[in-house]
A = this chain, B = another copy of it.
Amino acid sequence: MVQVSQKQAKVTLSERKRGSGAKFVYGTLRDEILDLRLRPGSPIDEVQLAERFGMSRTPIREALVRLAGDGLVETLPNRSTMVANIDALGLPAFYDAITLMYRVTTRLAAQHHQPDDLERIRLLQDDYANAATSRKALDMISVNRDFHAAIAEAGRNPYFTTLTLRLLDEGRRILRLYYQSFDDRLPQEYIEEHEAIIAAIAARDVALCDDLARAHADQIVHQIQQLFSRDQRQNIAL
């Protein structure tokens, strides 16, 4: 009897459309994982999530399966699933991949972009500048992702777009880690680099896009590398 009344209360609380359950859970958990609100390595309990979202385990399960497909969650057979760890040893591979994807997507954007692509990209760049001037580092991280995602879209190659998105998300996690533990300032340089990239895409200058994208990627890689070396020093100092 108690169970019935509780359940009804929860159902009225969350009036959902059929078929949206798993998608909603997927999106929510994905955001939380990428924002590090769910810490890497922390265990995920299906029953707990089911209670939290006010639904049965089935849609929760589907969301977890999809997250596992994205590599955001690791599932141990018959035992718990946990938030994927950030693999420090895999960082060089990450650097290689994001650098190549920046280059190739920017090149393709120069070749295949259409007018409204550029408009979208410029709007995002405005958002980025705003976030930068108001010193909102976390916003900058997220807008930066959208900026490069838009460039990838303009390149019109789904294979590259997918991989780029995945890398950007992975990078978002790493950068969160960074700006959480250290200061909240990002170099203004990025804004200028972005501007230059936009201009090169608009001019359809493939070679210049390549150069700029490579330099931009190098910047970010360098930034992350600094993070890790700084981290080390601090540990030693303690």
Interface residues of A (CB under 8 A from B): 18-19, 58, 61-62, 65-66, 69-70, 77-78, 90, 93-94, 96-97, 100, 104, 108, 156-160, 162-163, 166-167
Contacts and interface: CB of A to CB of B under 8 A. Distances in A.
Contacts of A162: 163
A155 to B, nearest CB: 9
A171 to B, nearest CB: 12
A38 B58 CA distance: 27
Contact of A93 (B19, B158, B166, B167): B158
Nearest to A94: B159
Contacts of A166: 159
Contact of A157 (B62, B93, B157): B93
Majority secondary structure of chain A interface residues (helix, strand, loop or mixed): helix
Contacts of A69: 65-66, 69-70
Given A159-B167, A162-B163, 13 more contacts: A19-B77, A58-B58, A62-B62, A62-B65, A65-B66, A66-B69, A69-B69, A93-B156, A94-B159, A100-B100, A159-B163, A159-B166, A163-B163
A78 B163 contact: no
A97 B157 contact: yes
17 contacts: A19-B77, A19-B78, A61-B62, A62-B62, A62-B65, A65-B65, A65-B69, A69-B70, A93-B158, A93-B160, A94-B159, A96-B159, A96-B160, A100-B100, A159-B163, A159-B167, A162-B163
The 8 closest A-B pairs by CB, nearest first: A69-B69, A97-B159, A93-B157, A65-B65, A163-B163, A19-B77, A19-B78, A62-B65
A161 to B, nearest CB: 9
B66 A159 contact: no
A64 B43 CA distance: 25
A220 to B, nearest CB: 15
A61 B78 CA distance: 18
Contact of A100 (B61, B96, B104): B104
Contacts of A159: 93-94, 96-97, 163, 166-167
